[in-house]
Amino acid sequence: MTADSGHAGPVDEPVGHPTGELPGTLAETLRYGPFHRALRDSIAHRGLSLARLRARLERLGVPVGQSTLSYWQRGLRHPEVPRAVPTVRALETVLELPPESLVALVEPQPRARPQHVAPPFAGSTGAWADPAPLLAEFEAVPRSARSNADLEVLAVHDTVLVGAQREQRAITTRMVVRALRAGPDRYLAVHQGDEGCLIDKALVRPAEGCRQGRVRRQSASRGLAFELLFDRKLAEGEEHVFSFTVLDDTGGPTPGHHRTFRDPCRGYLLQLAFHRRSLPARCTKQFRQEPEATPVEVGELVCGLGGVVSAYFSDVGPGLAGVTVEWT
């Protein structure tokens, strides 16, 4: 997530048209999208804060809110066509991009998110079967709630308890979310158990800030989907903290834990607590943009006193972040 002081600094650089060649990765993103990634990469390439970008747009007579630019570059909202096209063209000018390069990614209409994409909480093993059949069973829930589209995930803390038989015993999650518009009253979570687990025996234990709603299971994929209901509908911009635990201890030796982030998140803390008689041979912090992709961020982790391994990811996603465990 882009950090910004919120105050416009001096605007002394010229505003003009593309100069010089764009990096190959940026040129490719501008060609194939998606829009939010192309915008984010373009802003980073020019080294502009959102406050300075907004100030330059105002110099061109195009007022736009800093929060709108933030939502656009994180993929939380999409420019509305045709109303936002002049603003997108002004962005091309300020960011010195080829004409129509950003506009081509928003016309003729915003690209809809595929309905099979998992919510930000996904399985402990990374890639897993399409959860669409599970999510479709929540037919009475509005589509925006099924995909958590009205909630921005600000921070996540996962604590995974690993037992004496190297099995994943429990995952406790604490989340901070913000309502992007008025109305959201629930969060839909998705979990996948480790190889060999009996997903029908997995239990959900809600804690502060939520209560359990409906639960759906899929034995073939070891998938579990469940509603966490808030005590009220959130107001636009309201932040909410809630936590819950998934008890799922029937699987084999755990390969680690990974969480899927559909959208960028400010911070993700993952901790694995191992039984003192079953410490791992190696733990690796990893981030990958796709389930089968090569990790782009890899780091060795130390199993500290008490058998706890911790991995922190700042400004994480979209993609999969987690810890891979190797046993002797």
Identify which of 9-18, 291-300, 306-315 has the greatest average pLDDT.
306-315
Q: Say if 8 falls within a structural domain.
A: no
pLDDT at 151 over 80: yes
Q: Which helix (H) or strand (E) holds 287?
A: strand 282-288
Say whether both 162 and 100 belong to one domain.
no
Say whether both 276 and 150 belong to one domain.
yes
Q: Say if 121 falls within a structural domain.
A: no
Say whether both 78 and 137 belong to one domain.
no
Say whether both 225 and 138 belong to one domain.
yes
The residue assigned the tokens 């500290």 is: 304
Contacts of 210 (CB under 8 A, 6+ apart): 187, 228, 229, 230, 242, 243, 244
Say whether both 262 and 146 belong to one domain.
yes
Say whether both 99 and 224 belong to one domain.
no
Domain count, the chain: 2
Say whether both 230 and 187 belong to one domain.
yes
Q: Indicate which CATH number applies to the domain containing 84.
A: 1.10.260
Where does the pLDDT of residue 2 fall: very low under 50, low under 70, confident under 90, or very high at 90 and above?
very low
pLDDT at 185 over 70: yes
Q: Say if 113 falls within a structural domain.
A: no
Could you report the per-residue pLDDT of 53-105, keeping only the tens digit for each? 999 999 999 998 888 898 888 877 788 878 888 999 999 999 999 998 898 88
pLDDT of 299 reads 87
Between β-strands 203-206 and 211-218, what pairing exists: parallel, antiparallel or unpaired?
unpaired
Write out the residue range of the structural domain in which residue 201 sits. 132-326
Q: Say if 5 falls within a structural domain.
A: no
Say whether both 77 and 222 belong to one domain.
no
For residues 22-48, give the mean pLDDT.
85
pLDDT of 132 reads 60
Higher-confidence residue: 295 or 212? Answer: 212
Q: Say if 18 falls within a structural domain.
A: no
Say whether both 102 and 150 belong to one domain.
no
Say whether both 289 and 146 belong to one domain.
yes
Q: Can you read off the two tokens belonging to residue 9?
A: 């600094």
Q: Which helix (H) or strand (E) holds 87?
A: helix 85-94
pLDDT of 120 reads 41
Higher-confidence residue: 136 or 115? Answer: 136
Say whether both 245 and 304 belong to one domain.
yes
pLDDT of 122 reads 38
Q: Indicate which CATH number applies to the domain containing 193.
A: 2.60.40
Single-letter amino acid, residue 136: A
Say whether both 267 and 190 belong to one domain.
yes
pLDDT at 140 over 70: no
Of the given ranges (118-127, 205-214, 242-251, 280-289), which has the lowest mean pLDDT?
Answer: 118-127
Q: Is 206 helix (H, G, I), strand (E, B) or coil?
A: strand
Predicted TM-score (pTM) of this structure: 0.61
pLDDT at 112 over 50: no
Could you report the per-residue pLDDT of 221-273, keeping only the tens digit for each? 888 889 999 989 999 899 999 999 999 999 889 999 999 888 888 899 999 99
